[in-house]
Structure formats: C-alpha cells, structure tokens
C-alpha cells in the first residue's frame, strides 16, 4: 500500500478569540488539519507557549489527523491569540504580539521533514518577525524539486511587506490569494493593478504573476460566494462556487487550499481542483470555527461529489 503524502503547514498556530468563545486556528494549522482529514500525513510546524493556551492547543489537536509532535515550545512567549469580530459575516482581526510563533527556530528535525515533504504551505503573517521569516524561507528552500510549495498569502495589516511577498513568490510553485488581495499584491510588487475585479481582470493579473515568477505553476484566486479562479500558463478554469448558509468564513480559504493541494498531488485537472476546493471551502464556511467536527457521512458525501465531477 502506498504511503500517504507528507504535507506540512508551516507558520502560526493560535487561538481565535470569537464572540462565542475561543477557537483553535491559524491558517497553516487549519490547512494541516484539513490535509490530514483528506487522508494525507500532515504535520503542523509552529511554536506555542509553555502556558495554558499552548497545552489546550495540543489537547484539542490530539484527536485530529494532524501530527503535533514537531511543535516547538517557547519558554518566554505566549501562545498566539487573535481577537475576531464580525460585520455582515466577514471577520475583522486584532492580532496580538509578540507570540510564540514569532520565534520559530530552524531545527534539524524540521529540516529533515521539509526535505521529505510532498507539499508545504506557508503564508505571510508568520513572516512578520525576521526569525520566523528566515526559518520558513529556509525550510521552503530545503524541499525537493518535486515538492509543491504553496504560498497562501494572508494580508493582515500591518504584518506584510513587498519584501515578504517577493521572496515568498520566488520560492512558491502555487500562489493562493483572495480577490480582494489581488490589487494589493500587485501594488506591493510594483505592478499596476487591473482596472476592476472582473474574472477577466483577475485572470490577467494571475497571468502577469506567472510571467514574473518562473517557479510558479498555478495561481488560485478565491472569490468568496462567487467561487474561484485557477490559472496556469496553459489554461484557466472558473468555478461558480456553491450556495451555502454562511456561519463564518474563518478557515474556509484554508480548506480550499488543502483540498487543491490534495488533488494536485494526485494529478487532477483544474476543474476537479476547483470542484474540490469549493466543496470543502463552502462546507467549512457553513460551520462555526476553522476546525469544525467532520462526520464521516459528510466527508464521504463530499468526496463522492468531487469524484463524480471528474
């Protein structure tokens, strides 16, 4: 039997402090849990504090299909926290600092894991500190040529810069962002944004990024309730998305990213990637929190629907 693919989520593990109470999250952790739920061997590479929130994070993750044995424990800094408020279902974030994940160390076991990885996912938020930025970028550079390296940008002001975006894209093979981030990313890179946010303009933006960064093979743009757009050098595909009753959108984009990664590793074409990303992203958006319980019947039903779309 073939071994599961090794997929790493690298970056922030934190608590989203929601109006109804704390929920475990952080984009790389959300990604790692979903990648594990899809049948891969996923591991979360992050750093937590030696505190109650850190211990509770491990306790919450233990029953979930994501390897936590590589988490680093910081004796001096607290486990990360983000206060989340909502306006018309859209989240607004207050990201507290410093946090333990600002001090991620480049350890030998992390390097060895990166060298074996089939796919890694990293973002921009965890690169706000120089130490964690160097760790993340070195790990990405240590991966093999066959490894899928996803840069899932996470523009949370003021924790991003043109340097972070540029350096990350030079390492990535897949770039994922949402439609609202497209003009800002282009501006940060010194590239004039397109006139508006139509699918045609988003496609042109993606094609410009593919021309600018030779290592990129795929640009994925999520468009909220309007679905998503996938663009390569040879083709593109738009998916209209699935109508759902949105509870909150936290983690929906991370589920999308995990799903397209899972199917990319299996050689799926763009329509299947888009179907999978939207199926799983819309399901998370219909739930509360970024790591909602996943009944087996729900998982099987979504996987069957994706297979039937091929």
Integer CA distances (angstroms), 69 to 43, 62, 153, in order = 8, 10, 26
The rounded percent of the chain whose pLDDT value lies above 70 is 99
Integer CA distances (angstroms), 174 to 101, 114, 121, 264, in order = 23, 17, 9, 10
- Residue 90, judged by CB atoms within 10 A of its CB (0-12, 13-18, 19+), counts as exposed
The 10s digit of each residue's pLDDT in 201-239 is 999 999 999 999 999 999 999 998 889 999 999 999 999
- pLDDT at residue number 163: 98
Query: What is the C-alpha separation between 154 and 251, in angstroms, rounded?
Result: 12
Query: What is the C-alpha separation between 229 and 270, in angstroms, rounded?
Result: 9
- pLDDT at residue number 1: 62
pLDDT of 140 strictly over 80: yes
Identify the band that residue 20 occupies on the pLDDT scale cut at 50, 70 and 90: confident
Eight-class DSSP state of 163:
H
CATH architecture for residues 6-309: 3-Layer(aba) Sandwich (3.40)
- pLDDT at residue number 195: 82
Identify the band that residue 175 occupies on the pLDDT scale cut at 50, 70 and 90: very high
Q: What is the pTM of this model?
A: 0.95
Integer CA distances (angstroms), 10 to 48, 155, 197, in order = 13, 16, 30
Query: What is the C-alpha separation between 273 and 105, in angstroms, rounded?
Result: 33
pLDDT of 88 strictly over 90: no
Q: Quick one: average pLDDT of 245-252?
A: 89
Vertex 144 angle, CA 143 and 148, to 5°: 75
Q: In whole numbers, what is the pLDDT of the chain averaged over residues?
A: 95
- 84 and 48 in contact (C-beta within 8 Å)? no
- pLDDT at residue number 8: 99
The rounded percent of the chain whose pLDDT value lies above 90 is 86
The count of other CB atoms within 10 Å of the CB of residue 151 is 27
The larger pLDDT score, comparing residue 83 to residue 217, is at 217
- pLDDT at residue number 290: 86
Domain range list for the chain: 6-309
**Lowest-confidence region among 135-144, 191-200, 264-273:** 191-200
Q: Quick one: average pLDDT of 29-39?
A: 97
pLDDT of 53 strictly over 90: yes
Helices (H), ranges, the chain: 27-37, 52-61, 108-116, 130-142, 162-171, 182-188, 199-212, 252-264, 270-285, 296-309
The 10s digit of each residue's pLDDT in 184-199 is 999 999 999 998 889 9
């Amino acid at each position: 039997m073939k071994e599961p693919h090794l997929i790493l989520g690298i970056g922030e593990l934190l608590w989203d402090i929601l109006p109804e109470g704390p929920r475990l999250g952080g984009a790389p952790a959300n990604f790692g849990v979903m990648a594990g739920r899809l049948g891969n061997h996923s591991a979360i590479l992050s750093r937590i504090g030696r505190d109650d929130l850190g211990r509770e994070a491990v306790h919450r993750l233990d029953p979930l299909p994501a390897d936590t044995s590589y988490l680093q424990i910081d004796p001096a800094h607290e486990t990360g926290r983000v206060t989340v408020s909502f306006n018309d279902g859209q989240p607004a974030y207050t990201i507290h600092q410093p946090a333990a994940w600002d001090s991620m160390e480049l350890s030998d076991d992390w390097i060895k894991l990166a060298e074996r990885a089939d796919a890694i996912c990293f973002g921009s938020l965890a690169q706000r500190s120089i130490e964690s930025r160097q760790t993340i970028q070195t790990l990405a550079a240590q991966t093999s040529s066959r490894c899928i390296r996803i840069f899932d940008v996470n523009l949370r002001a003021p924790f991003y810069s043109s340097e972070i975006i540029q350096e990350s894209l030079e390492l990535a093979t897949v770039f994922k962002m949402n439609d609202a981030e497209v003009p800002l990313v282009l501006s940060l890179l010194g590239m004039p944004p397109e006139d508006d946010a139509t699918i045609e303009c988003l496609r042109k933006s993606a094609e410009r990024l593919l021309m600018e960064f030779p290592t990129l093979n795929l640009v994925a743009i999520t468009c909220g309730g309007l679905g998503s757009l996938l663009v390569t050098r040879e083709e593109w595909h738009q998916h209209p998305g699935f109508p759902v009753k949105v509870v909150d959108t936290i983690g929906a984009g991370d589920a999308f990213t995990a799903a397209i990664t899972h199917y990319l590793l299996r050689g799926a074409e763009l329509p299947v990637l888009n179907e999978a990303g939207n199926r799983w992203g819309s399901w998370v958006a219909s739930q509360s929190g970024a790591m909602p319980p996943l009944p087996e019947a729900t998982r099987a039903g979504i996987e069957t629907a994706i297979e039937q779309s091929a």
